[in-house]
Amino acid sequence: MRKLYYFLLYLFLALVAIFQIYPLVWLLKFSLKDNTEIFGKSPFALPESPKWENYLKVWTDGNIGVYFFNSVWITVASIALTILLASMATFAITRMKWRLNKFVLGLIMVGLMIPVHSALIPLFKMFLEVSLVDNPISIVLTYTAYNLPITVMILLGFYYTLPREIEEAAIMDGCSINRMFFTVILPLTTPVISTTVIINMIFNWNEFVFVNTFISSDKYKTLTVGINNFVGQYMTDWGAIGATLMISVIPILVAFIFFSNKIIDGISAGALKG
Read off the pTM.
0.83
pLDDT at site 235: 61
- Cα–Cα distance, 65 to 36 (Å, whole number): 26
pLDDT at site 15: 93
- Cα–Cα distance, 102 to 274 (Å, whole number): 24
Total residue count of the chain as it appears in this document: 274
* Residue 173 phi, psi (nearest 5): -85, 0
Q: Architecture of domain 62-269 in CATH? A: Orthogonal Bundle (1.10)
pLDDT at site 142: 94
Closest by CA position to 60, among listed 272, 229, 233:
229
Domain-wise residue ranges, the chain: 62-269
Q: Residue 47: how many CB atoms within 10 A of its CB?
A: 18
First and final C-alpha spacing in the chain? 39
Residue 231 pairs in a beta bridge with 236
Q: How does pLDDT run along the chain (274 residues), one tens digit per residue?
A: 788 888 899 999 999 989 988 988 988 988 888 888 888 777 778 888 888 888 888 888 778 888 999 999 999 999 999 999 999 999 999 888 888 888 999 999 998 888 888 889 999 999 999 999 999 999 999 999 999 999 999 899 888 888 888 888 888 888 888 888 888 888 888 888 888 988 899 899 989 899 999 998 888 999 888 877 676 644 677 888 888 888 888 888 888 777 766 666 655 555 444 4
Closest by CA position to 37, among listed 24, 25, 46:
46
Find out whether 110 and 47 touch, Cβ atoms under 8 Å. no
